[in-house]
Amino acid sequence: MNLFDVYPLNDIEIIKASGSTVWDANGQEYLDLYGGHAVISIGHTHPHYVKRLTDQLNKVGFYSNSVKIPLQVALAEKLGQVSGKPDYQLFLCNSGAEANENALKLASFYNGRKKVIAFKGAFHGRTSLAVSATDNPKIVAPVNQTDNIVFLPHNDVKALEQAFLEFGDQVSAVIIEGIQGVGGIQEASVAFLQKIRALCDTYNAVYIADSVQCGYGRTGLFYSHDFAGVNADVYTMAKGMGNGFPVAGISIAPKFKPWHGMLGTTFGGNHLACAAALAVLEIIEQDNLLQNAEVVGTYLIEELKKIEGINEVRGRGLMIGIDLPADKAYVKKDLLFKQHIFTGEAKPNVIRLLPALSLSKAQADQFLANFKTVLKG
Site residues, ligand PLP (CB under 6 A) = 95-97, 100, 123-125, 177, 181-182, 210, 212-213, 238
Q: How far is the CB of 3 from ligand PLP (least distance, A)?
A: 18
Pick the closest to residue 371 from 339, 326, 327 (CA basis).
339
* Three-state SS at 207: strand
Distance of alpha carbon 156 from alpha carbon 328, whole angstroms = 30
Q: How far is the CB of 90 from ligand PLP (least distance, A)?
A: 17
Q: Parallel, antiparallel, or unpaired for β 115-119 and 179-180?
A: unpaired
What value does the CA radius of gyration of the chain take, rounded to a whole number of Å? Answer: 20
| 8 A C-beta contact, residue 41 and residue 216 | yes
Nearer CB in complex with ligand PLP: 211/339 = 211
Cis upstream peptide for 325 (omega within 30°)? no
Dihedral sign of CA atoms 267, 268, 270, 274 in order = positive
Name the closest residue to ligand PLP (Cβ).
96
HSE-CB at 371 with a 13 A cutoff on CA atoms is 25
Nearer CB in complex with ligand PLP: 233/363 = 233
CA dihedral defined by 128, 9, 30, 237, rounded to 10 degrees?
0
Q: How far is the CB of 95 from ligand PLP (least distance, A)?
A: 4
The identity of residue 141, as a single letter, is A
Q: How far is the CB of 170 from ligand PLP (least distance, A)?
A: 24
Nearer CB in complex with ligand PLP: 92/374 = 92
Number of H helices, E strands in the chain: 11, 17
Nearer CB in complex with ligand PLP: 273/374 = 273
Q: How far is the CB of 286 from ligand PLP (least distance, A)?
A: 26
Direct distance between the N- and C-terminal alpha carbons of the chain, in angstroms, rounded to an integer: 42
* Three-state SS at 74: helix
Tally of CB atoms within 10 A around 68:
9
Q: How far is the CB of 47 from ligand PLP (least distance, A)?
A: 26
Nearer CB in complex with ligand PLP: 110/123 = 123
Nearer CB in complex with ligand PLP: 273/310 = 273
Nearer CB in complex with ligand PLP: 135/210 = 210
Q: How far is the CB of 233 from ligand PLP (least distance, A)?
A: 17
Q: How far is the CB of 366 from ligand PLP (least distance, A)?
A: 26
Nearer CB in complex with ligand PLP: 186/339 = 186
138 torsion bin: left (phi>0), alpha (psi -120 to 50), beta (else): alpha
Pick the closest to residue 354 from 311, 316, 308, 325 (CA basis).
316
